[in-house]
Amino acid sequence: MQNNPVRYDAIIIGSGFGGLYALHHLRDNMGLKVRGFDGAGGVGGTWWYNRYPGARVDAPSSPFYAYTFSQDLVDEWEWTETQTSQGAVLAYLEHFADRFDLRKDIRFNTWVKDARYDEAGQCWTIETDSGESASAQFLICAVGALFVANMPDYPGISDFAGECYHTGRWPHREVSFAGKRVGVIGTGSSGIQSIPEIARQAEHVTVFQRTPQYSLPARNRPLTAEELAGFRQDWDELRTSMRKRGGWPFKTSRLRAAEYSPEQRRARYEELWQQGGIHLAINSFVGVLSDKALNEEVGEFVRSKIRETVADPDTAAKLMPDYYFGTKRLILDNGYFETYNRDNVALVDLRQDPIKEFTSSSVRTEQGEHAIDMLVLATGFDAVSGSMLNLNPKGRGGVSLQQKWGQRFDNYLGTTIAGFPNLFMIHGPGAPGVFFTMPLGGELTTEWIGNCISHLREQGLGAVEATADAEAIWDGEINSIAERTLYPHTNSWYMGANIPGKPRQFLGHLRGSQYFDRLAEVAEAGYEGFVLEPAQPETA
Ligand code: NA7
């Protein structure tokens, strides 16, 4: 560490939705001296990196996948489509950064390579890859739930000589697929969004699929001026509804499946399918994500739609998902299954025909060889915990997060970690994160963090630290919610199952509304579950 780090009140790592709002709130609303850092060349976080063709928010998003706190901001931004594109989200975040003059306080192209807690000084000191050192009482980690790319390690993959891109690290320049034979590995959101776009341009696309997926039609369309005006007019009410309903202001069903005949239920599924977006998942009948029989019925409905759409029965058979509907990230597509009716698209089912190795110009599976010029890795992320482990802060006694989280991602309220005083996470393990609208979740979490900081300052306190007991109780709460659903029965990135060797643990809080009530209760109870340390003379 350098001898004289520049001193701030708070250091914020990351300038995506969470980090930008944290900078605005702590600096402009609370008057703190704040410095942001981001390894990327600009704001946007996830939306800076994930610029692959077809990238969109995986929800019917406009104008809800956006900051909610300012009516002026809502009024002045023109969303144009119902399912927001990556470019539109990034343009919005750039606007937000300019409007609130945030860039001047962020160091871009700068990775924080070390972060250590100083117990005597009750502060964090960071060092960057450019040799800068800074310290602050509070370290806010807005490092992204989907940041650390999962790179498959098939034999010979590094020998592949053609262009190779991970969807989460897409180049900041045009990538041309014209005249190319493209191999795509992975059929999560990134694969399913990009495959139709790539197929439109490429000579040939071979999709290597490990798990067939449920995907619902997004039915993306222009957002009308009347719709947008209506949303703006009702914004306060919509915001309240989002906060109460798990992040989105959409209707969720109160209907009991048992009170309807199979034909009536099918008619309802059909209606919601035609409506598009996530409505089939959230608005058919109560209990789709917890009742096995009902879940199977909805799953079979989606499979029937895939069968209807895909002309070749062998290809359709390979595309049949067989896990519990909705227990992996639900995908919204724009013509994914239809893409398999094109002459230039082939599907390899890796369960029947696994990849053996790569050569400089092909993928060899057990049953054949597929010549490719370009490889697209849509293989996802070491989600939620990966970016914190990548940062690997060193807490009390120099214990690193990698040591602490070797077996389990223990945390309290999804925002704090025992042994890491004055460190706050936005969208960490144990928070609603991807199960809530992330911009709104980030706002609410940041406001809670801000209140906690104010409390410390008003009370002459120097540090706040979760207790290990509180972490254990929190772990129980998260799990008891998850165990009432079918999520834990599926191998998904929600369970850490996509990364070899990653501890199996449900990584989010499924009841966002309840979660934010809980945060408020903890604060009202004098920060229950935390140890609050008096300020040392030098930090008071
Ligand atoms: P996902 O959803 O994690 O999807 C990754 C896909 O890649 C998925 O189909 C994986 O199969 C597949 N995968 C991962 N590793 C391999 C290997 N080694 N071989 C073959 N196939 C593999 O990531 P996305 O980027 O699509 O989406 C992430 C989130 O971003 C998404 O949920 C949205 O919230 C936005 P698997 O299903 O694990 O068998």
Distance between CA atoms of residues 155 and 40, nearest Å: 30
| 305 and 259 within one domain | yes
Taking the chain (540 residues) in consecutive chunks of 10 residues, what is each chunk's mean pLDDT? 82 98 98 98 98 93 94 96 96 98 98 98 98 98 97 97 98 97 98 98 98 97 95 96 90 93 98 94 95 98 98 98 96 97 98 98 98 98 97 98 97 98 97 95 98 98 98 97 97 96 95 96 98 81
Tell which atom from ligand 1 comes closest to the C-alpha of 497.
38
Measured in whole angstroms, the distance separating CA 170 from the mean position of its chain's CA atoms is 17
| 322 and 357 within one domain | yes
CATH of the domain at 247: 3.50.50.60
Q: How far is the CA of 192 from the centre of ligand 1 (A)?
A: 10
Decide whether any atom of ligand 1 lies within 6 Å of the 185 Cβ.
yes
In a domain, 64, yes or no: no
Decide whether any atom of ligand 1 lies within 6 Å of the 286 Cβ.
no
| 297 and 279 within one domain | yes
Residue of 379, 384, 493 to test ligand 1 pocket, by largest number of atoms within 8 Å of CB: 379
Beta-bridged to residue 357, according to DSSP, are 364
Q: What is the model's pLDDT at position 494? A: 96
Q: What is the model's pLDDT at position 3? A: 57
Distance between CA atoms of residues 54 and 150, nearest Å: 20
| 308 and 173 within one domain | yes
In a domain, 505, yes or no: yes
Kindly state the tokens that stand for 362.
């092909």
Decide whether any atom of ligand 1 lies within 6 Å of the 86 Cβ.
no
Q: Which residues are CB-contacts of 292 (< 8 A; sequence separation ≥ 6)?
A: 324, 486
Q: What is the model's pLDDT at position 52? A: 98
Tell which atom from ligand 1 comes closest to the C-alpha of 167.
25
**Whole-Å CA distances, 248 to 61, 160, 314, 435, 506:** 9, 43, 38, 10, 22
Among residues 342, 361, 377, which one ends one of the domains?
A: 377
Q: How far is the CA of 478 from the centre of ligand 1 (A)?
A: 24
| 409 and 361 within one domain | no
Cβ atoms of 333 and 305 within 8 Å: the answer is no
Q: What is the model's pLDDT at position 32? A: 98
In a domain, 69, yes or no: no
Decide whether any atom of ligand 1 lies within 6 Å of the 380 Cβ.
yes
Residue of 146, 169, 498, 499 to test ligand 1 pocket, by largest number of atoms within 8 Å of CB: 498
Residue of 165, 329, 427 to test ligand 1 pocket, by largest number of atoms within 8 Å of CB: 329
Decide whether any atom of ligand 1 lies within 6 Å of the 183 Cβ.
no
| 399 and 286 within one domain | no
| 518 and 466 within one domain | yes
Domain that includes residue 427, residue range: 6-46+103-148+385-534
**Whole-Å CA distances, 34 to 20, 23, 24, 416:** 11, 7, 9, 19
Decide whether any atom of ligand 1 lies within 6 Å of the 188 Cβ.
yes
Neighbours of 332 (CB within 10 A): 25
Q: How far is the CA of 458 from the centre of ligand 1 (A)?
A: 46
Distance between CA atoms of residues 288 and 282, nearest Å: 8
Q: What is the model's pLDDT at position 251? A: 82
How many domains does the chain fold into? 2
In a domain, 265, yes or no: yes
Angle among Cα 185, 189, 195 to the nearest 5 degrees reads 55
Distance between CA atoms of residues 236 and 245, nearest Å: 14
In a domain, 135, yes or no: yes
Cβ atoms of 194 and 378 within 8 Å: the answer is yes
Q: How far is the CA of 282 from the centre of ligand 1 (A)?
A: 23
Q: What is the model's pLDDT at position 538? A: 62
State the DSSP code for 224: P
Nearest CA to ligand 1 atom 33: 189
In a domain, 90, yes or no: no
Decide whether any atom of ligand 1 lies within 6 Å of the 146 Cβ.
yes
Q: Which residues are CB-contacts of 282 (< 8 A; sequence separation ≥ 6)?
A: 248, 250, 251, 252, 253
| 464 and 363 within one domain | no
Decide whether any atom of ligand 1 lies within 6 Å of the 61 Cβ.
no
Distance between CA atoms of residues 399 and 397, nearest Å: 5
- What are the residue ranges of helices labelled H in 66-159? 71-76, 86-99
| 498 and 369 within one domain | no
| 181 and 41 within one domain | no
Q: Under DSSP, is residue 488 helix (H, G, I), strand (E, B) or coil? A: helix
Q: Model's pTM, two decimal places?
A: 0.97
Decide whether any atom of ligand 1 lies within 6 Å of the 518 Cβ.
no
Among residues 352, 377, 402, which one ends one of the domains?
A: 377
Decide whether any atom of ligand 1 lies within 6 Å of the 189 Cβ.
yes
Q: Which residues are CB-contacts of 110 (< 8 A; sequence separation ≥ 6)?
A: 37, 38, 39, 128, 129, 130, 132
Among residues 377, 400, 431, which one ends one of the domains?
A: 377
Decide whether any atom of ligand 1 lies within 6 Å of the 302 Cβ.
no
| 169 and 137 within one domain | no
Q: How far is the CA of 443 from the centre of ligand 1 (A)?
A: 28
Amino acid type, 152:
P
State the DSSP code for 25: I
In a domain, 98, yes or no: no
Angle among Cα 347, 348, 351 to the nearest 5 degrees reads 135
Decide whether any atom of ligand 1 lies within 6 Å of the 354 Cβ.
no
Amino acid type, 211:
T
Distance between CA atoms of residues 322 and 376, nearest Å: 25
Nearest CA to ligand 1 atom 6: 186
In a domain, 61, yes or no: no
Cβ atoms of 157 and 370 within 8 Å: the answer is no
| 271 and 125 within one domain | no
